Structure 1
């Protein structure tokens, strides 16, 4: 395949297909059909973004994994050619850099400042408190009428409470930071709204870091404040890191809890396995399979080529934008037989839901524990849990960088 051939995409009247691509009606868990067609027939192809740019879309598992680990591929979002989801993201990248949009060694230096709280042993020590929060939230559901919005009752407050505790952010401010977070990850947000939300959250975290400088506590913001005091970070840099940790710490897990529940309720044979087991290994396997099957970071991972790179028959030129589309990569039949089937007994550990390489998700140990606790608790405690509306009627987050549902009305036998 050459770049010229990539100008024509199978099953499309357009020379270069628009991106992102819509999901099929009635198939909320599957990647868009156009993306799947590229995976099957033209796995490295040009797509057209909102600004007219034409980055490469890489849709197969092996190619994506190799590029995510390739030092010739940059995460620097300020480089020309980087595929930004909208104007607000591009402007934000120019105004305030994040360590996830840096390359090594700068990326590694800053990332090391916040890795310790997410170490597996540290996170495992949090499991009892996460279990306690989960049980209390479910108690609250059961104490009311036999119906609830699972997003507001459990999926969103659980990870928000946990990340607030780790960071040292007052949970009573959750409505403020959840609203601003939603604006910052919505690809239809105007640049003005996105920048305003980013500034408001950064100011908020900057103020908290000022408090921690004067009165340090046992939390991550206090640790960042120490780095400010030693001159390793400016207050604004520390606040920007806090914004990233706060958003990532609640948005992704909240959406996985809710969307994973929808997927399980639509696959009752798989739900029955979780509902009837108390084996943590069975639950852990289910978490990995749901992460693979749903791939909620559903608009891919943006990069820029620093050198010419051969990918299959294609040549990605230096300066070209790249989008590694893990949604189809995680449905690659070469690695996952019958990939469109949810099978919580499958070994799905090699999925790329958390990315791959040096930039893979810092908080994945915490997300795994939170999901294991919820999936291992909710369906056993409320065995008759079911949707209060059809899955096709749910408000899915097609507009977000993180896929999920805005609301999840459920009911159960009283």
Structure 2
């Protein structure tokens, strides 16, 4: 038996819900309460609309793989993360927020460079980047901010090398990316940041077409753009997606993962002592599951009526899929609130699921494996240089993390 549930907006919890101050790594308590309920339920978001909230592991996976829900941000009823996100939906539009067949057509153009085999070939270069930055960290003053000294430069240097973006411009793209991922950014700020990044990549593609090198932007410029498969503006938007996602998410995982390990010293000791790559790889999967840094939910809109979880989701209604509770579902991961690096966490949904799962996950996994297997071994006395209560978390971001991480050794 199914039902269509109606609520008065004032009775609904506002989403995203606040995390508990003393449990910053855990999902919001109100989310966990929703997860215990027998059916799907609604929440209220910034624009007053009432999308459905999906919190359980099996439900999140099933709906992310369901072709009857759309990732197209231009569709009526799509539950945008913020006013800025909605305002920038056209200027930022790329394959990540399109449906098939256009999604698949565009995604295939950049799939090969992120293949597992190619990412493993890149590992020695990433190892050199990590070692060089640790050398600089150890030679510099302490305490130091691990975000600026290490967590942010590692993936920024890597994605710049992969795309062919000059790292000298990292201040520009990091600054604009921060505007894009903050929920509090004003619509005009998001549009301006999006246009600035697109203009930057557009100009770089012109240069790559005239003077191609061995990088992904050169390949796009000389193949897809030159052949008319993409306009240069479309290619630039694709470049913005790859550049922004390629550094922002991994940087947050490095810093937040380090903080979580410092708060769980037994797990940090086990990781530091690990000399088996498989053990390190398993630790990365568990940290991805435990932290699930995409904490504004994966947003979708129903294309047709869908009966699921005891309710009917009507065509045109928004859906928010909460990966952080899916990855803490005791039905999928026993004792889910415990960080256990020996756990088999490979079935997590930190990278999403279905056709829209993260394109760059082989790169992110490889970078995190190098970082987590190197940093704590080379800096065995690494410690937090402040009280955790004074660490500023990114509660206002679409990606969870910390703004600064003061450390000493």
Deviation at 1:147, TM superposition (A): 2.3
Structure 1 partner of 2:229: 232
CA contact (8 A) 1:354 1:364 kept: yes
Structure 2 partner of 1:52: 48
1:35 aligns with 2:31: yes
Distance 1:46 1:198, change over 3 A: same
Structure 2 partner of 1:170: 166
CA contact (8 A) 2:304 2:316 kept: yes
Determine the C-alpha separation between the residues in 2 that align with 1:94 and 1:136: 39
- TM-score normalised over the length of structure 1: 0.96
Structure 1 partner of 2:90: 94
Determine the C-alpha separation between the residues in 1 that align with 2:399 and 2:213: 32
Note the alpha carbon deviations across 1:318-375, whole angstroms, 9 max, x for none.
Answer: 1110011111000000110000000000000000000000000000000000000000
Determine the C-alpha separation between the residues in 2 that align with 1:152 and 1:95: 29
CA contact (8 A) 1:80 1:319 kept: yes
- From 280, 284, 288, give the equivalent of 1:283: 280
Distance 1:277 1:95, change over 3 A: closer
Give the SS at the match of 2:229: coil
Structure 2 partner of 1:149: 145
Deviation at 1:7, TM superposition (A): 2.8
Give the SS at the match of 2:27: coil
Determine the C-alpha separation between the residues in 2 that align with 1:79 and 1:101: 10
- From 364, 367, 380, give the equivalent of 2:364: 367
**Which deviates more, 120-129 or 220-229?**
220-229
Determine the C-alpha separation between the residues in 1 that align with 2:8 and 2:260: 34
Note the alpha carbon deviations across 1:149-176, whole angstroms, 9 max, x for none.
Answer: 1001110000000000010000000011
Determine the C-alpha separation between the residues in 2 that align with 1:303 and 1:3: 18
1:393 aligns with 2:394: no
Determine the C-alpha separation between the residues in 1 that align with 2:389 and 2:34: 26
Give the SS at the match of 1:126: helix
Note the alpha carbon deviations across 1:71-130, whole angstroms, 9 max, x for none.
Answer: 111111100010101122112213442111111111000000001110000000000010
Note the alpha carbon deviations across 1:24-78, whole angstroms, 9 max, x for none.
Answer: 1111100000111000125511111100011101000101100000011111110
1:204 aligns with 2:197: no
Determine the C-alpha separation between the residues in 2 that align with 1:74 and 1:26: 36
Aligned residue pairs, count: 407
Determine the C-alpha separation between the residues in 2 that align with 1:297 and 1:157: 20
Structure 2 partner of 1:194: 190
CA contact (8 A) 2:39 2:310 kept: no
Structure 2 partner of 1:404: 401
1:131 aligns with 2:132: no
Distance 1:95 1:333, change over 3 A: same
Note the alpha carbon deviations across 1:224-268, whole angstroms, 9 max, x for none.
Answer: 112111100001000000000000000000000000000000000
- From 65, 71, 79, give the equivalent of 1:69: 65
Deviation at 1:287, TM superposition (A): 0.3
Determine the C-alpha separation between the residues in 1 that align with 2:142 and 2:185: 36
1:324 aligns with 2:325: no
Deviation at 1:286, TM superposition (A): 0.5
Distance 1:112 1:141, change over 3 A: same
Gap regions ≥5 residues in structure 1: none
CA contact (8 A) 1:43 1:60 kept: no
Determine the C-alpha separation between the residues in 1 that align with 2:236 and 2:379: 40
Gap regions ≥5 residues in structure 2: none
- From 260, 264, 286, give the equivalent of 1:263: 260
- The alignment yields a C-alpha RMSD, in angstroms, of 1.2
CA contact (8 A) 2:87 2:190 kept: no
